Copies of this chain bind each other. A is one copy, B any other.
């Protein structure tokens, strides 16, 4: 096998893509900075025990493990940055009030999340710790939609779910761990044939509620339907109120809003409202997030938390191809006036490419649409056709 072949679902970013993604990254980080989100950069690898502390079995399987030669312990390559940022909030910053953090970096997966996905997504995201009210959910949801808009992603559909609904039903019915896991799978897959036998032995109120959940998806009218068919537990009423308010607030920023009450994505660590952005160009969600109030607990400090993340490589695939701005070709000459002109152009932000070979046949490779030429005794920029 030729040694220049890359592993499956692993890709290089070549010039135009790399440049565009670098601009996208800078743009999202600047947007987050302007709202007070401070950048942190946790490492690519940690002890497996730390990285997988809140993880699902699925996340465990998708995480690369290796042995640390210095300690003999098992290391893991991060498959998600959120738990690392929670560790930083819980243990390192240790603030009492609100902490807003953002991050960007690659994560690695043993298996791709989908046929069109890479095993090396480039995550960017934001997390808000220390506030449990709806205001912080709205802040991160708004930021996520603003970030997508700033990247030029339009026609975004925003879908809401609420993990507290299923959790409330499980708690009130005293459902055991094992059955909870099976119910979770069936609901997540909207798999009615699997769901029916699982709920058969439960009290009618709970049974009907669990059977209703997979049907409770659609527009915001779903919230009213849910009020009618779900039990009136205070947690249920509160969750539905939150969904109603969030949908009303975010409506002006999204192309359309949906509600999906069987959506339990991230159930292993989410605790409240969850949300995901969709786009016609992608089968998978293009950005997602939610509330996960207990994540810091395993690091010694439970803090309310909500946040979002997205994969810039996935988003880049949705955007129209855009090539890097072209530069100015300069001859290679030891001429003071020329060097001064080159420095001037660079100070103005123009890329100036020195033509070391001086072979016109190779000019097209140098990515220039202008050239510096000596005319009437002065170096001037002229347009060139290559």
Chain A 33-58 per-residue mask, 1 if CB under 8 angstroms from chain B, else 0? 11110111111111101100100000
* Residues in B whose Cβ lies below 8 Å from that of A2: 300
* Residues in B whose Cβ lies below 8 Å from that of A87: 4
* Known pairs A3-B47, A44-B106, A98-B357; A14 contacts B92 (CB<8 A): yes
CB <8 Å contact, A69 and B352: no
* Known pairs A7-B70, A299-B4; A354 contacts B36 (CB<8 A): yes
> Complex formed: what's the CA distance from A40 to B42 in Å?
23
CB <8 Å contact, B69 and A111: yes
- Determine, out of A133-141, A205-213, A284-292, the stretch whose residues face the partner at the interface: A133-141
CB <8 Å contact, A99 and B365: yes
Chain A 64-102 per-residue mask, 1 if CB under 8 angstroms from chain B, else 0? 111011110101010000001001101111011111110
- Interface residue range, chain A: 35 or more
* Known pairs A22-B39, A39-B18; A7 contacts B356 (CB<8 A): no
CB <8 Å contact, A351 and B7: no
Report how many copies the assembly holds. 2
* Residues in B whose Cβ lies below 8 Å from that of A33: 19, 351
CB <8 Å contact, A97 and B359: yes
> When the two chains form the complex, which single residue of B22, B43, B49, B130 contacts A12, counting CB atoms closer than 8 Å?
B43
> Complex formed: what's the CA distance from A53 to B331 in Å?
36
CB <8 Å contact, A14 and B93: yes
CB <8 Å contact, B133 and A356: yes
> Complex formed: what's the CA distance from A69 to B65 in Å?
12
Say how far A319's CB is from chain B's closest CB, in angstroms. Answer: 17
* Known pairs A3-B298, A4-B87, A96-B365; A15 contacts B36 (CB<8 A): no
Judge whether A366 is part of the interface by a CB distance below 8 angstroms.
Answer: yes
For A16, give the chain B residue with the smallest CB separation: B38
> Complex formed: what's the CA distance from A365 to B97 in Å?
7
For A30, give the chain B residue with the smallest CB separation: B349
* Known pairs A71-B7, A139-B356, A299-B3; A40 contacts B66 (CB<8 A): no
> Complex formed: what's the CA distance from A173 to B33 in Å?
62
CB <8 Å contact, B41 and A21: yes
CB <8 Å contact, A46 and B10: yes
* Residues in B whose Cβ lies below 8 Å from that of A69: 110-111
> Complex formed: what's the CA distance from A130 to B13 in Å?
21
* Known pairs A7-B71, A349-B34; A120 contacts B12 (CB<8 A): no
Judge whether A278 is part of the interface by a CB distance below 8 angstroms.
Answer: no
* Residues in B whose Cβ lies below 8 Å from that of A5: 47, 50
* Residues in B whose Cβ lies below 8 Å from that of A255: none
For window 344-371 of A, CB contacts with B under 8 Å fall at 346, 349-354, 356-357, 359, 362, 365-367
CB <8 Å contact, B131 and A356: yes
Judge whether A155 is part of the interface by a CB distance below 8 angstroms.
Answer: no
> Complex formed: what's the CA distance from A41 to B324 in Å?
15
* Residues in B whose Cβ lies below 8 Å from that of A73: 7
Judge whether A332 is part of the interface by a CB distance below 8 angstroms.
Answer: yes
The residues of A with any CB-CB pair to B shorter than 8 Å are 2-15, 17-19, 21-22, 26, 29, 33-36, 38-47, 49-50, 53, 64-66, 68-71, 73, 75, 77, 84, 87-88, 90-93, 95-101, 105-106, 108, 110-111, 120, 130-131, 133, 135-136, 139, 298-300, 324, 327, 332, 346, 349-354, 356-357, 359, 362, 365-367
Query: 22 A-B residue contacts at CB 8 Å?
Result: A3-B49, A4-B92, A4-B300, A7-B47, A9-B70, A15-B101, A18-B39, A19-B39, A36-B327, A38-B324, A44-B106, A45-B108, A69-B110, A95-B362, A96-B362, A96-B365, A97-B357, A97-B362, A98-B356, A98-B365, A98-B366, A135-B332
